A and B are shown apart, each in its own frame.
Chain A
């Protein structure tokens, strides 16, 4: 299986610049998710790779081949589209066969591949039906089957689950992940849904405004966001952020949140460069890393005792929102604690120093 390289990619539509000097390598067999808000350039990047759009500048290689100038069909890829793009006048079997017949493969080979895909995706019982007679999930499976039978080295997905309901989406997520584990194809997958990215990807590239903000494993992206955009884009409920000022007291590094006077001990934080006293920073605290009530630890970086404003339960989780000056702090709590919460009563919480993120307030970059 080949790797995919984007080198110095530039894409402009007229005077509108979407991508400027973008570089990215997708390793062989990797499941790379391009994640970002709509309009960030992720779908453009995918279409450039597919050849559905032409680059303005730069080079795309798949394996050893420079495919920048090649037609889509010559690039050795297969794609699953957002609207599935099944041929409505052909049966499921016809859809699976059509692309192969266009490649002039011999009949036995086509039969073999179609049977293989039908079995893999459990399409056997619907082979003679038209797409209009299938449910959304079934259409999705046919679309994936149509991509798989091509035995392409690289598989592209363009928001394939966005037209499905929540339950089906969860099922298909698992199914696609299993497919990747079984077939080890290189996959480039575009989505705006962070859950899809976190659950399926071997690596995630977070994009915003045409720039890759961070690329890394789901864990890295989540626990060590490279900048404030990534920190805030990933995670639900969203990360808590505090504007603070650095202070150095002997061998201790503190960040003070002026409105509330809360001081956060950053001594245990692994700074990328030497902290300077007086520098404005943003501290990021994920809601689920807080310890509350009996679990509060004396040696944590910050201890809070703040009034509860409200709480909400989302299925297996519950979140308490505490009032800190003019902002709210979201803290994940055990749902069993919910009944004992009293609005307006103080709640104790602490946050461990090794889990927090510190960003330069001016550049937004991790420190």
Chain B
């Protein structure tokens, strides 16, 4: 009844004719080679730093930068953590690590709290001048830091917190507010207005709707923003340098000071270990949450 055997096909034996179509084209091989070379270009610096940080200094002076350590040692890592010198003090990079952690958490809380609420208000509540304000934020997100640096120093100094981790966290919150607000707003504006209208009808207040309806829907965007902020704050150098004074320097500043500006004899393996220690936290975030990471880094970029 069905058309399984129809026309001339019926004359052929009813078995499938096997096909081998997996032709590997020459161009595919060329592309593969090219991509591999690019991947090597990107991967090799990390490899070089890792092997250097595990080599004793005698092996480094041989100049074979790509060789694996003959004798593996974690001595450089210990020294970087405990004894790295900046100027005259040799307290290691550990103080910088603790400072960076102390900066990171208030920065995250402050910036996400302000930006998410602002984004929510602008996206879902009828604020007449919302579009104008968004445009201003869009410009603010991209102005160079130097144009507001000096007044911010004066403001922070007058608040009496200059040279503390709080100053750095506050400035991070200010600097990141425009971009994060735009990201939150773009996410929240896709929440159907009917949902909010229904919630208002059910006598929900502004804050209650935020807490009970909007926040629970924000899981994804929170992860994205967290990754973006952790990377930004941890990797920042300029804000930490400008507002950290002497006692609140983040890890990047201590690293840069000890390696770049100090005049002593360079201890390369210790320097590389210190650089790795500084790079590890965001790298861990990256390798653990790669998919969100890409989204986080690009979401700030494309939408707007």
Instruction: Name A residues whose Cβ lies closer than 8 Å to a Cβ of B.
Output: 5-8, 10, 20-25, 54-59, 68-69, 205, 211-215, 226-227, 365-366
Contacts and interface: CB of A to CB of B under 8 A. Distances in A.
A65 to B, nearest CB: 15
Contacts of B6: 23-25, 215
Given A23-B9, A25-B8, A25-B9, A226 B2 contact: yes
Contacts of B19: 54-58, 68
A214 B4 CA distance: 9
Interface of B: 1-10, 12, 14-19, 21
Given A5-B7, A7-B9, A54-B21, A214 B16 contact: no
A5 B9 contact: yes
Contacts of B15: 8, 21
Nearest to A57: B16
A114 B170 CA distance: 65
Nearest to B21: A54
A29 B15 CA distance: 29
B2 A8 contact: no
Interface centre among B3, B6, B15, B21 (most CB of A within 10 A): B3
Nearest to B5: A23
Nearest to B15: A8
Nearest to A22: B4
A47 B127 CA distance: 51
Given A55-B19, A56-B19, A7 B2 contact: no
A8 B3 contact: no
Contact of A8 (B1, B7, B12, B21): B12
A34 to B, nearest CB: 11
Contacts of B4: 21-23, 211-212
A211 B5 CA distance: 11
19 contacts: A7-B12, A7-B17, A8-B12, A10-B16, A21-B4, A21-B15, A23-B5, A23-B9, A24-B9, A25-B7, A54-B21, A69-B21, A205-B3, A211-B4, A214-B1, A214-B2, A227-B2, A365-B1, A366-B1
Given A5-B8, A212-B4, 15 more contacts: A5-B9, A7-B17, A8-B12, A8-B16, A8-B17, A20-B16, A24-B6, A25-B8, A25-B9, A56-B16, A205-B3, A211-B4, A215-B3, A226-B1, A226-B2
B269 to A, nearest CB: 49
B145 to A, nearest CB: 38
Nearest to A364: B1
Contact of A23 (B1, B3, B18, B21): B3
Contacts of B2: 211-214, 226-227
Contacts of A56: 16, 19
Nearest to B11: A7
A339 B93 CA distance: 92
Please give me the 5 A-B residue pairs with the lowest Cβ-Cβ distance, nearest first.
A57-B16, A25-B7, A23-B9, A212-B3, A215-B3
Contacts of B18: 57
Contacts of A10: 16
Nearest to B18: A57
A211 B21 CA distance: 24
A273 to B, nearest CB: 12
A55 B20 CA distance: 10
B14 A8 contact: yes
A352 B12 CA distance: 42
A214 B14 contact: no
Contacts of B14: 8, 21
Contacts of B7: 5, 23, 25
A20 B2 CA distance: 13
Contacts of A55: 19, 21
